[in-house]
């Protein structure tokens, strides 16, 4: 017999794996669009630290002069991205899955401890149920970023119809930059996500496909809180020897 834990509901697995190719198309087509006007860079003084992006990068990926194609894919797959995201958030909310996902104050302290553990600077990590503090923050942020991408996206897609949104986001130019920064955020998330998946190993990865994970006792990668002891006799409610309870006697006797 194997003891398994049911980790990811079927719906979550679908949303996750649908999002993967859809977000890929959005980022790829976004790059085709961005190429046509690519002014962003990170500068320190006059020194350009990172330029988004060097010509060699575009050449290597063959993304030059493909603006029309990029826009077409982007404006087709945006519907799938939004629909899948909406269903994911709706499902998470209705099913109660959000309880595993939404970070609280202690998640931030846990996240620091998890990071130290990941870097080998700490022997143990704090116990968790489904996601540790760092995961909660990461997965919840990525959901918020999705909302951000939709909002900044509409701000640049329909800046007249949604002029209130565009000005709320700091104007058309600012909204385009924000849309771009969020995309860089996804790419960074993806790199760390893949690294962590490799680190966490097969059991963890396959659970995003099968939904369950075989429990290894005393897994240092997944410390759990000591289970509440339930096989001891519970204090009987009525009969049996009872501690004499202090009786409250009327003060007037």
Partner 1 sequence: MNQPTEPELPENDIPESVARRKLIKSFGWFALASAVPVGVYEWVTKSAGAQGIKRPLRTVLNANEQVARTYFSNTHLVPTFAVEDAAKKARVNGYDGIKSPIPEDWKLQIDHPSGTGQPLMLTVDDIKALPKHEIVYEFKCIEGWSQVQHWGGARLSDFLANYKLGTKSGNGPNPENADDLYKYVGLETPDKGYYVGIDIESAMHPQTLLAYELNGQPITAPHGAPLRLIIPVKYGVKNLKRIGRMFFSDERPRDFWAERGYDYYVGL
Q: Which positions touch partner 1 (CB under 8 A)?
A: 1-7, 17, 21, 33-34, 36-37, 39, 67-69, 71-73, 75-76, 79, 96, 99-100, 102, 104, 106, 126-130, 158-161, 163, 166-167, 171-173, 176, 206, 209-212, 214-215, 225
Backbone phi, psi, residue 127, to 5°: -65, 150
Helix (H, G, I), strand (E, B) or coil at 57: helix
Burial class (CB in 10 A: 0-12, 13-18, 19+), 148: middle
Write down the least CB distance from residue 159 to partner 1, Å.
5
Contacts of 78-83 spanning 24+ positions with Cβ under 8 A: 78/26, 78/153, 78/157, 80/18, 80/22, 81/19, 81/22, 81/23, 81/26, 81/146, 81/149, 81/150, 82/150
Helix (H, G, I), strand (E, B) or coil at 213: strand
Report the length, in residues, of the chain: 253
Write down the least CB distance from residue 46 to partner 1, Å.
23
In the complex with partner 1, the residue whose CB is nearer, 44 or 179, is 179
In the complex with partner 1, the residue whose CB is nearer, 59 or 158, is 158
In the complex with partner 1, the residue whose CB is nearer, 55 or 242, is 55
In the complex with partner 1, the residue whose CB is nearer, 97 or 118, is 97
Work out the number of other CB atoms within 10 angstroms of the CB of residue 89. 15
Write down the least CB distance from residue 130 to partner 1, Å.
6
In the complex with partner 1, the residue whose CB is nearer, 85 or 175, is 175
Write down the least CB distance from residue 123 to partner 1, Å.
18
Write down the least CB distance from residue 246 to partner 1, Å.
31
Closest CA to 52 of 175, 157, 190, 179: 179
Q: What is the DSSP letter of 177?
A: H
Write down the least CB distance from residue 212 to partner 1, Å.
7
In the complex with partner 1, the residue whose CB is nearer, 98 or 237, is 98
Which pairing describes strands 212-214 and 47-51: parallel, antiparallel, or unpaired?
unpaired
Largest CA distance in the chain: 98
């Amino acid at each position: 017999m194997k003891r398994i834990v049911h980790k990811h509901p079927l719906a979550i697995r679908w949303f996750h794996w649908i999002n993967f190719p859809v977000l890929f198309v959005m980022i790829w087509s976004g790059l085709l669009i961005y190429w046509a006007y690519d002014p962003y860079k990170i500068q320190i003084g006059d020194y350009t630290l990172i330029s988004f992006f060097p010509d060699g990068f575009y050449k290597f990926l063959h993304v030059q002069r493909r603006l029309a194609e990029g826009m077409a894919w982007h404006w087709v797959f945006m519907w799938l991205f939004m629909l899948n995201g909406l269903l994911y958030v709706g499902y998470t909310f209705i099913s109660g899955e959000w309880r595993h996902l939404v970070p609280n104050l202690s998640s931030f302290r846990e996240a620091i401890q998890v990071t130290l553990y990941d870097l080998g600077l700490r022997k143990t990590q704090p116990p968790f149920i489904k996601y540790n503090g760092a995961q909660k923050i990461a997965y919840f942020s990525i959901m918020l970023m999705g909302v951000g991408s939709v909002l900044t996206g509409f701000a640049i897609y329909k800046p007249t119809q949604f002029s209130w949104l565009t000005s709320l986001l700091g104007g058309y130019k600012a909204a385009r930059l924000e849309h771009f920064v969020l995309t860089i955020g996804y790419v960074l998330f993806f790199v760390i996500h893949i690294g962590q998946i490799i680190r966490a190993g097969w059991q963890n990865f396959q659970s995003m496909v099968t939904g369950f994970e075989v429990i290894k006792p005393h897994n240092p990668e997944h410390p759990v809180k000591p289970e509440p002891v339930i096989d001891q006799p519970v204090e009987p409610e009525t009969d049996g020897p009872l501690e004499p309870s202090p009786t409250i006697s009327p003060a007037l006797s």
